[in-house]
Structure 1
């Protein structure tokens, strides 16, 4: 999860988020180089005779400021298209979970496990135990097996919501009457926090998302207990 005074993204917990972090660094370096070049040109124009009309109107300068932006766009577009393809590709998911947004909580249905479904409500501040996080903890976590492709079907029962989990690199809008899908692979065990990222009403900030990634054997034990209590 995010920490106070933290700069940058949360630690990646999925292959897609790792790719997004690498692309962020790649794009940031390009922006830095462009800024340095523009600053150099401005300083040169102020302190030298670079403003000479024969230099500014030369064919060479015209070629440079036409070709250079095109190369920069290619350097940004190619890796971003690759990541978009990786995020859109969903092949043979091991588990499918349907996430429904409501005012103001999430409900989850494990479609591969019969009647395994539950609501996930935020724990009020006065009910938190030591070590839990305010406005982020829920009474029921979405438990998933790690290192397995998980498909999330996202929809809403009332208004627009958005299922967002930063550590996994996932953000999908929940639209009433529409079924969107996304996927992720938890590359390590842990508890990962997210929140609704669409302004959905007065209690928009009180519908957190908690995903717990566990080994497959632990997940099977958890699902058996949940089905037994259902």
Structure 2
């Protein structure tokens, strides 16, 4: 759970969301995810136990609809919101600040990931160019250097071409993953470490 919801504040925010209208648990999860611009999404194991406790306390009630529990705030729940209106205003302010911090951190980490991908792409292309040059016959001193000559080893040429294609696919796939809405800063930092480790491993292997 994000730190902004420590000390029972998520409970209060769930009441606030239900004050806007009846919701089932999945809708509450999506509303929270949207509130944090996709940078944080609570799990079902975080939301449903709190809804159950709110119901036991008489602050919410539920009805069954389409196989789902639809939760609705009670008058007692609205009374608690009124009593804690100042606390709720502070919570909204803290959420705004948290979203800004998360957005900035996500942007920095995404830049790191993109930089690692660019380094990996540059390294593999350099290896491919070196492989092509090494496979060309050297010109004799008495004969002018010929134009580009296809590699003598056709299997090696095919492998180089496959590396090029896989590199394009890899960069495209990593880009899609990085742009995905659901991630944590730890996950993205792990991606950076993995990419850097892959690049270092290729350098040791191919030099």
One fold, TM greater than 0.5? no
Which structure has the larger Rg?
A: 2
Which structure features the higher share of helix residues?
Answer: 2
TM-score by length of 1: 0.29
Which structure features the higher share of strand residues?
Answer: 1
TM-score by length of 2: 0.31
